[in-house]
Amino acid sequence: MIINKIIFILIFFLLNSCGYNSILKNNTSDFSIVSIKIQDRNKISYKIKNSLSNYVGLENKSKNYKISIKSNHIKRITSRDAKGDQKTLELSISVKLSILENQNSYDKQFNKNFAYTDRANKFELRNYENSIIDNLVEKISIDINEYMSEL
């Protein structure tokens, strides 16, 4: 019983002192987003808009941005088997971000790729592709947050 308490206390101190800090919950940014314009109506742009919504309308920030988002995704076959059926695929997501601050304009392209194998069940394949898109969009959103913090 006393050994369990000692182990618990050691684990607690190790985890507490490791300095873990969440990237997404760190709201020490010095920018605010005035408006977000989506140039195309697809799921990727709306997910990025939702991830940036935490920065909309913040007061007392030194930088105020107007943002325009344009995104697309491409699924391509990278290899085929002997019968000619698709074997491996690659999903590419591209996001063009345009930022306007006062008289300054910034444009940046964010790209993420992921290669995967085909599934026999097309329903499972579609669900897997949706989870890949969600993960890639989350990574791009983190990159966008870091980019805007560095401006």
Domain boundaries, the chain: 28-150
pLDDT of residue 1: 73
Cβ proximity of 80 and 50 under 8 Å:
no
Residue 9, SS3 per DSSP: helix
Phi and psi (nearest 5°) for 71?
-140, 160
Nearest to 112 by CA among 48, 52, 20, 25: 48
Neighbouring-strand partners of residue 67: 36, 99
Position 41 scores a pLDDT of 84
Q: In whole angstroms, what is the distance from residue 78 CA to residue 61 CA?
A: 46
Q: Distance (Å, rounded) from C-alpha 119 to C-alpha 78?
A: 14
Gap between the Cα atoms of 147 and 126, Å rounded: 31
CATH architecture of 28-150: 2-Layer Sandwich (3.30)
- 73-90 residue pLDDT tens: 999 999 999 998 899 999
Compute the Cα dihedral for 24, 26, 27, 28 and give only its sign: negative
Residues 89-108: tens digit of each pLDDT: 999 999 999 999 888 899 99
DSSP E strand boundaries for the chain:
31-38, 63-80, 86-101, 104-117
Low-confidence ranges of the chain (pLDDT < 50): none
Global pTM? Answer: 0.78
**C-alpha distances in Å from residue 59, one per residue of 18, 30, 115, 151:** 32, 10, 42, 18
